[in-house]
Structure 1
Amino acid sequence: MKRRVKDPLSEANSDELAEGHLFCDFAGGAVGHRLKFGGGRGQALPKAAGFTKGRTPTVIDATAGFGRDAFLLASLGAEVVLIERSPDVHAMLEEGLERARVADPQIAAIVARMKLLFGDAKELIPDLSADVIVVDPMHPPRKTKALVKKEMRILRSYVGSDPDAEELVKVALKVAKKRVVLKWPAKGDPLPNIRKPSHQLMGKSTRYDVFMTE
């Protein structure tokens, strides 16, 4: 699964989070650390999405959030479409991408492979095409007393609980050329009315359910 390292947030990011504001930083903080030390294609998400030494799939990130997973996959050479339906989160991503375009040549080259769309993924996906669709909905409440990271609590306050996650996965399964990847709590119950995944990649707190479509 993901490396068990603490991702340091940039000072600006920390200040924004302390005030309960959304902030997207593709050039530094946790994202920059992951870019330098994350392990490339050996990380859980790229493996779940089918990245191999000779294969770089096209990707739709149907639930963009902070955009970190999309940035990771774009850093590995993938063309990634990000979809976000929250106006506030979409605006945050737009601002983050704009800052990244002038950050440095390496970061600018990565975000050039990222295309951000605004709207409901269930409605947009049928008109798009990609090898892989990644779905990372807001996760259900934890069964333990462990507290979710502050940044995720802030994000939840903007986007809600994603009660249509099941419907989104069903749409993704019809559209993805090769596979759908559902990012879900390691001990979370499966989404109802969704077929059993082809395989899973397990981590300490997160798992990737992979549904092959070809």
Structure 2
Amino acid sequence: MSDTPCRVAVCWLLPELEQPARDLAARLQLPVATADSIEAELLLRLGGDGLSLQATGADAPGAVRVDFVEGALAHRRQFGGGAGQMVAKAVGLRGAVRPTVLDATAGLGRDAFVLASLGCEVTLIERQPIIAALLEDGLQRAREAGGEVAEIAERMTLIQGDAITFMAQWAAAAPQVIHLDPMFPHREKSALVKKEMRLFRPLAGDDLDAPALLAAAWALASHRVAVKRPRKAPSIDGPPPSAQLSGQSSRYDIYGKKKLG
């Protein structure tokens, strides 16, 4: 992954959020954007509804933020199919079996939230600091919301850093399942229309070290590794998967070590 080659700055949308925004900018080592100062390709905006990332170009997509309380994830939590969802099947949920999961490519935390909502304890690793900041903000707001969403968020633990390094140095009990969703290399003909992709690819780049990520996950996981891929993409270089689950646009390559439950 690249080290933020595009220009990113932090701004605030309410006067009372100026100091928290400046603190965030200092922590992420990013400049502060004000009306009469820096121009940036991406703005990390702190507002009353939390932290969001917004491109500034003329044809820029809308802002992206992590929201576990309302919107698409709330709908998925209530009506998304429960343990019948592909990600749940891929990590081995069935009956009362709820494995401990390490999501080593957390992104915006959607898959991790689904697994936590189904009862799994999930550790998330995200190596891009700006994406991790969005995720941290979303988790904090979920905890503050109370009720069921707060209980789900309490089952999610976020680590910001390089997953390969963390997995190699892992000192706690090994996760039973490791979930990987590496950024797939961009092809001009592929329909990457989601606004998250348009915003995050300049930040995160492609996961060109996916084979090393898989190797580290295989070495650490006690039971299985589940790798999310575009449906027609090749498997990651390395040993062949022991099973596959396919959906309409994506699939899971499953690398089994021993049976869960």
TM over 0.5: yes
Residue 152 of structure 1: CA displacement? 2.1
Runs of 4+ in 1 over 6 A off after TM superposition: none
1:32 matched residue in structure 2: 74
- Against the structure 1 CA distance between its residues 50 and 145, is the aligned structure 2 distance closer, same or farther, given a 3 Å change threshold? closer
CA RMSD, aligned part only?
1.9
The 8 Å contact of residues 192 and 198 in structure 2, kept in 1 or not, is answered as no
- Against the structure 1 CA distance between its residues 189 and 145, is the aligned structure 2 distance closer, same or farther, given a 3 Å change threshold? same
Question: How far, CA to CA, are the matches of 1:38 and 1:125 in structure 2?
Answer: 31
2:125 matched residue in structure 1: 83
Question: How far, CA to CA, are the matches of 1:87 and 1:187 in structure 2?
Answer: 30
Question: How far, CA to CA, are the matches of 1:172 and 1:72 in structure 2?
Answer: 21
The 8 Å contact of residues 61 and 195 in structure 2, kept in 1 or not, is answered as no
1:181 matched residue in structure 2: 226
For 1:56, the aligned partner's letter is R
1:131 matched residue in structure 2: 176
Instruction: Name the TM-score, length of structure 2 as normaliser.
Output: 0.72
Pairing partner for 2:163 from 121, 126, 143: 121
* Higher Rg of the two aligned structures: 2
The 8 Å contact of residues 244 and 254 in structure 2, kept in 1 or not, is answered as yes
- Against the structure 1 CA distance between its residues 211 and 124, is the aligned structure 2 distance closer, same or farther, given a 3 Å change threshold? same
User: Does 1:68 pair with 2:110?
Assistant: yes
Question: What are the ranges of 5 or more consecutive residues in structure 2 without an aligned counterpart?
Answer: 1-48, 55-59
Q: Which region of structure 1 is more displaced relative to structure 2, 138-147 or 42-51?
A: 138-147
Residue 141 of structure 1: CA displacement? 2.4
The 8 Å contact of residues 183 and 206 in structure 1, kept in 2 or not, is answered as yes
Instruction: Name the TM-score, length of structure 1 as normaliser.
Output: 0.88
- Against the structure 1 CA distance between its residues 94 and 53, is the aligned structure 2 distance closer, same or farther, given a 3 Å change threshold? same
- Structure number with higher relative contact order (C-alpha < 8 Å, ≥ 6 residues apart): 1
Percentage identity across paired residues of the two chains: 48
For 1:195, the aligned partner's letter is P
Q: Which region of structure 1 is more displaced relative to structure 2, 26-35 or 69-78?
A: 26-35
Question: How far, CA to CA, are the matches of 1:133 and 1:191 in structure 2?
Answer: 15
Question: What are the ranges of 5 or more consecutive residues in structure 1 without an aligned counterpart?
Answer: 1-11
